[in-house]
Amino acid sequence: MIDSSLKDIAAALRAKTVSAVELATDSLARIKARDGQINAFVTVDEAGALAAARAADARLAEGSAGPLTGIPLAHKDVFCTEGVLTTCGSKMLANFAAPYDAHVVRLLKQAGAVMVGKTNMDEFAMGSSNESSHFGATRNPWDTTKVPGGSSGGSAAAVAARMVPIATGTDTGGSVRQPAALCGITGIKPTYGTVSRFGMIAYASSLDQGGAFARSAEDCALLLNAMIGLDEKDSTSFLGTSLDEKMREIPNRDLGDLTREISRVPEDPARPLAGLRIGLPREFFAEGMSADVRAAVDAAIAEYRRLGATLVEVSLPNARLAIPAYYVIAPAEASSNLSRFDGVRYGHRAAEYTDLNDMYCKSRAEGFGAEVKRRILVGTYVLSHGYYDAYYIKAQKLRRLIAQDFAAAFAQCDIIAGPTNPTVAYGLGEKTSDPVQMYLGDIYTVAVNLAGLPALSHPAGFGAGGLPVGLQLIGNYFGEARLLNAAHQFQQATDWHTRAPALQDA
């Protein structure tokens, strides 16, 4: 049943052909049988899952169930969960059990979803391969010698391996879209500010955004429906009245039901995307993309054209500057955010030290991994006296230029399409000795976060070694429903999203 769509699972739950407890038990059994090969989970909460499933069955019996009631779910281990370990993939928080739920966790509890566990991730969400976790690398279910992408690789791998039908993630520079592409599933990062960051352990506050993983765009829409909403505890939460004047002018900022366009019957069923203008940035289709990814992306774009969409060439001239701008801004914010982990209030504390300063130094040196230390050092450097204007301020100016490029492109098109990753999944350990090469894997995704736009990745075929290829769709602010419908129509015409890796249960 976990292999079915959320609609089908929900229908089976309402018809009582399956119970929430049976679904949770099946999910837990699959984790036990498969996760030894994948390492997607840091924590499995069997007792909590079965208790939540029993509560979901009670709601179903009362007739008060919603679309997610009784659905097994995994949370990325960056979201605080009351009484359950929240490690952020780090030794620094290896024994930290949060005293409260993140806003997203609370909303999904209210929706009746059943959390079965917390998923592995790059330490403090810093990475593109899920290899920097203190708990070991997550492996790609399609080929366990390959990376699943990061930093939300555990969530993506758990969905791809059919251990859970849905999972949460976070996206700071592509951390939902990249692993979705490399693992052959659908993942969406919504408009910045639509999903609360309260209780989501911060990496780079102006870039971080919660997102959703599922097999299909329709399932992502159902999950994201329950995650979006105003949160007074988050000053960047947009869906409400506390908006500045500029944001008030943006149309359709009330996202409403994200399945509304999916549910609408098209005038011409053979051409359901008639009238949709898809922009193809010339910068995305220049050098850098591998031949196998290019072939799959071209075929997917041709399918969109067959579905009625019009293709328009657009330009994002400052896209090439997104990587350097991102890798100044994100580490600068990380340097500030991670200063709270000092061994005093919570988190790892060194066992031996001579004074307060020595405790700070040893606790942080022992608690943080190499990639986190690298980004803290870079961030501290660019914020230091004499370099702040030369690096940080200049990167913020580039950020504005990148956002303006997108605004100009959306004057010519409705959505933008291109590759999610320049290559299919690469081998474990292949890029760990060269961080810059790993950073370049973010080339198609980081600009979206700098601009705060919504974007998704959906399966678009397979490349070298039979590994998945993702197509990225980028929308204008609060254009999630349109993005999800475009991906849904593509998935109605193709079966890439239904393919599953062959795994032998232990």
Catalytic residue IDs: 76, 151, 175
Structure tokens at 313: 């060439």
Compute the distance between CA of residue 350 and CA of residue 363 in angstroms, rounded to an integer.
5
The two beta strands, 415-419 and 277-281, are: parallel
Instruction: Tell me the one-letter amino acid at 261.
Output: E
Can you spell out the DSSP letters for 49-97? HHHHHHHHHHHHHHT---TTTT-EEEEETTB-BTTBB--TTSGGGTT-B
Instruction: Tell me the one-letter amino acid at 444.
Output: Y
CA 147, 149, 155: angle at the middle one, nearest 5? 105
Can you spell out the DSSP letters for 438-489? HHGGGTTTHHHHHHT--EEEEEEEE-GGG-EEEEEEEE-TT-HHHHHHHHHH
H helices then E strands: how many in the chain?
17, 11
Write the CB contacts of 425 (distance below 8 Å, at least 6 apart in sequence).
140, 142, 143, 146, 147, 148, 149, 182, 183, 467, 468
The two beta strands, 72-76 and 166-170, are: parallel
Among residues 95, 114, 2, the alpha carbon closest in space to that of 43 is found at 95
Structure tokens at 279: 């922009």
CB 154 within 8 A of CB 125: no
Region of 353 on the Ramachandran plot (φ > 0 left; ψ -120 to 50 alpha; else beta): beta
Phi/psi of residue 278, nearest 5 degrees: -105, 120
